[in-house]
Amino acid sequence: MTQAARHTMLSDTATYDKQSGDVRAVIETPKGSRNKYRYVPDCDCFELATAMPEGMAFPFDFGFIPSTLGDDGDPLDVLILMDSPVLGGCVLQCRLIGVIEAREKDRGKRWEQNDRLIAVASHARTHEGVRRFEQLRPHTLEDIKAFFVEYNKLHDKRFQVLGIHGPNRAAKLVKKGMAAYKKHGGPH
């Protein structure tokens, strides 16, 4: 008896959609959620990572870029601007509009690079014409930065923004993340 082939795990999905050229993102935590979820490749499932206090919620859908690795050893983080939240586990096509280069520090530990890519879902209507940070509503980027600072404070961590860069820098970080993923044994 032959054994059926197992499906590709979400973390091993192709980084770019071949037809559109858009980057793919796997949603872990939907916009508006007070619960933070994380994808666990060992079981190909999502688990509750933490719950935030009343009044604090994710400003946009949050997830990762598959088949990439960041300096922290996890897939690259991405915040996706879209009209309304999607289900956790949903794979979206999106275009990168920039990156918040940042580092995080747990109490008593060393600083670790942990950038936040920012993208717009290809199917978004509200942000349809947005290609760069400068095209966002005023204060949107400041609100996103403030969210990550406050979110990390909840977990006794520090979050420090090192720089804000556009889509070209974001694309270079994705390519670097893809190379790191391949180097560490990823299938793509």
Q: What is the CATH number of the domain that holds 160?
A: 3.90.80.10
Asked whether residue 139 is assigned to any structural domain, the reply reads yes
Residue 187 lies in a domain: no
Distance between CA 41 and CA 38 in Å, rounded?
A: 10
Domain presence at residue 167: yes
Residue 16 placed within a domain: yes
Report which DSSP code applies to 16.
Answer: B
Q: What pLDDT score was predicted for residue 10? A: 85
Residue 33 lies inside a defined structural domain of this protein = yes
Low-confidence ranges of the chain (pLDDT < 70): 1-7, 186-188
> Residues 25-64: pLDDT tens digits?
999 999 999 999 999 988 899 999 999 999 999 999 999 9
Q: So what's the pLDDT on residue 185?
A: 74
In sequence order, the 6+-apart residues with CB closer than 8 A to the CB of 157 are: 104, 105, 106, 107
* Residues 86 and 69 sit within 8 Å (Cβ to Cβ): no
Closest CA to 29 of 43, 49, 13: 49
How many domains does the chain divide into?
Answer: 1
The pTM (predicted TM-score) of the whole model is: 0.92
Distance CA 57, CA 46 (A): 18
Where in the sequence is the domain holding 171, given as residue range(s)?
10-177
Instruction: Report the C-alpha dihedral over residues 156, 160, 166, 171, rounded to 10 degrees.
Output: -60
Q: In whole angstroms, how large is the CA radius of gyration of the chain?
A: 16
Q: Which of 89, 114, 103 is nearest to 24 (CA)?
A: 89
Residue 185 lies in a domain: no
In this predicted structure, what is the pLDDT of residue 144?
Answer: 96
Interatomic CA distance for residues 79 and 132, integer angstroms: 14
Residue type, 98: G
Where are any strands of DSSP class E within 52-140? 61-65, 76-81, 91-106, 112-113, 116-121
